[in-house]
Amino acid sequence: MTARPLPASERGLLLLIAVALMASGVAFYAVPDRPASPLRNDPIVLENVLVVCPTFRDARAIHLNTATPEELVRLPGIGEVLAGRIVAYREEHGPFASLERLTDVSGIGPKLVEVIRGLVTLGEEETVGSPDQ
């Protein structure tokens, strides 16, 4: 069986159908321009707006005179080294009578004491509050 040659009108029709299929496929599968994502890393500048960022901490105060180094590192500004120094100081000099005695530990100053005030306790029930309390 031999193929008969196509007349010009049929060739033109086949060419037109092929072009139409290709155009519709491109239009169907083309990725449309999407609007920019709202989750960008660009800073948003707001004036006169208070932003509150929640911080989650253990609600229980840490007992400074019995805390382990693992418990002490949960305090802001206290890493493993300072926690070890606090425990070593406590073992050598006895329990802390006041929070201000914590400044006797090497590497701890008054600013760090103020940061952890309210997060630690020296007694069984009393949390060390700010000086004006």
Residue range 63-106, pLDDT digits in tens: 999 999 999 999 999 999 999 999 999 999 999 999 999 999 99
Confidence (pTM) = 0.51
CB 116 within 8 Å of CB 77:
yes
pLDDT number for residue 58: 58
Looking at the chain, the whole-number percentage of residues with pLDDT higher than 70 is 71
Environment class of residue 72 by beta-carbon count within 10 Å: exposed (0-12), middle (13-18) or buried (19+)?
buried
pLDDT number for residue 125: 47
Give the total residue count for the chain. Answer: 133
Domains of the chain: 62-121 (1.10.150.320)
pLDDT number for residue 89: 95
The β-bridge partners of 121 are 63, 127
- With cut-offs at 50, 70 and 90, classify the pLDDT of residue 131: very low
Element (H, E) at 63: strand 62-63
Q: Which two tokens stand for residue 46?
A: 């707001």
58 Cβ contact partners less than 8 Å away, ≥ 6 residues apart: 74
